Amino acid sequence: MRTISVITAVHEGGHHFIGDTYESLCEQKLPGDWEWQWCVQEDGTSGIPAKSLPDDPRITFGTGLRARIAVTRTHALSRATGELIRTLDADDVLLPGALERDIETLERVPWCVSACVDLLEDGSTAPGPFDPEDGPLEPHRFYREVPQQRLSVQATTFAAHRGLVLALGGWQALSGAETVALLLAAEAVAPGEFIAEPSVLYRKHPDQTTASHQYWEPTEAATRIDALMQRATALREAGWKWPRDRRSPVGEQQTPRAH
């Protein structure tokens, strides 16, 4: 079986919707030779979020020192066995066919993002306002959009080959926008695609991290964007590109090249 590893960070107090997240994973229909693995990592050591998870061998759970979501996701990545990686927030819900579409798209390109639908507190939904067209993404699109504060996708829909995520260092050590940073880093070194079919219900609620006034403190927010743009720029200037043929399953040995 081939595996897509879903990476979720959670903290005590932010785990109340994680049961819905799990149910949405269980409802995913994958191609016949595929299965999913769910790598859940607590930002903290309480162990309380684990009590909201069922006894399912497809789930791995870990705890660690409080360090915010970038470090938490990267710790979860260390347990991922899949050749593909998909991010998923602990309060969001995957829509039918989401992982299957990721898998099919990642047969063609090293990374992808997809449309999402906002799930509002009253139960109503709203589509993203700036979705790109379905298919291959134009180079530099997101690199141009981020400084303009109009990123046209939710970076939490990011999926990629595990080797690419590892080569880029996982999620940049920031206080937020860490998946935007990974998205821009991937865009700098490899082509990607946008999937117009929505993949996730993005839950809007007062307790989410991005609803905090502290999160949007001007100096803090500007520093985050500065740091992720500097990394993306450095990758572009380096000229390094992710080899498109590097798609061997995890654990498969590569034949060394003669020197």
Domain contains 258: no
Structural domain includes residue 87: yes
Residue 123 resides in a domain: yes
Q: Give the per-residue pLDDT at 255.
A: 34
Instruction: Tell me if 256 is assigned to some domain.
Output: no
Q: What are the backbone dihedrals phi and psi of residue 39, each rounded to the nearest 5 degrees, phi first?
A: -100, 105
Residue 249: what pLDDT? 39
Binned at pLDDT 50, 70 and 90, residue 259 comes out as very low
Tell me which of 206 and 140 has the higher pLDDT: 140
Summarize the confidence of residues 155-169 as an average pLDDT.
97
Taking 80 as the threshold, does the pLDDT of residue 215 lie above it?
no
Q: Would 244 be classed as within a structural domain?
A: no
Q: Which of 55, 225, 49 is nearest to 142 (CA)?
A: 225
Instruction: Give per-residue pLDDT as tens, 103-157.
Output: 999 999 999 999 999 877 777 777 776 899 999 999 999 999 999 999 999 999 9
pLDDT at 258: 35
Instruction: Give the pLDDT mean for 203-226.
Output: 74
Assigned domain for 254 exists: no
Domain CATH for 54: 3.90.550.10
pLDDT of 165 reads 98
The token duo for 95 is: 């829509």
> For position 118, what pLDDT does the model report?
84
**Over the stretch 181-201, which tens digit does the pLDDT of each residue have?**
999 999 999 999 999 999 999
Structural domain boundaries, residue 201: 2-236
pLDDT confidence bin for 207, thresholds 50/70/90: low
Q: For residue 46, what pLDDT is reported?
A: 96
Q: Which residues contact 61 (CB under 8 A, 6 or more apart)?
A: 40, 41, 42, 49, 50, 53
Domain-embedded: residue 85: yes
How many domains would you assign to the chain? 1
Chain segment 13-67, per-residue pLDDT in tens: 889 899 999 999 999 999 999 999 999 999 999 999 999 999 999 999 999 999 9
| Domain assignment present for 242 | no
Q: Which amino acid is at 7?
A: I
Average pLDDT score over residue span 155-173: 97
What are the DSSP calls for the chain, one per residue? -EEEEEEEEE-TTS-TTHHHHHHHHHT----TTEEEEEEEEEEBS--TGGGGS---TTEEEEEE---HHHHHHHHHHTT---SEEEE--TT-EEPTTHHHHHHHHTTTSSEEEEEEEEE-TTS-EEE-TT---SEEPPTTHHHHHGGGT--SS-GGG-EEEHHHHHHTTSS-S-SS-HHHHHHHHHHHHS-EEEEEEEEEEEE--TTSGGG-TGGG-HHHHHHHHHHHHHHHHHHHHHT----TT--PPTTPPPPPPP-
Does residue 251 have a pLDDT over 70? Answer: no
User: Burial letters for 160-199: b for 16+ Cβ neighbours within 10 Å, e otherwise?
Assistant: bbbbbbebbebbbebbbbbbbbbbbbbbbbbbbbbbeebb
The single residue listed with the structure tokens 């990374």 is 111
Tokens matching residue 172 = 């940049």
Rounded to 5 degrees, φ, ψ at 245 are -90, 5
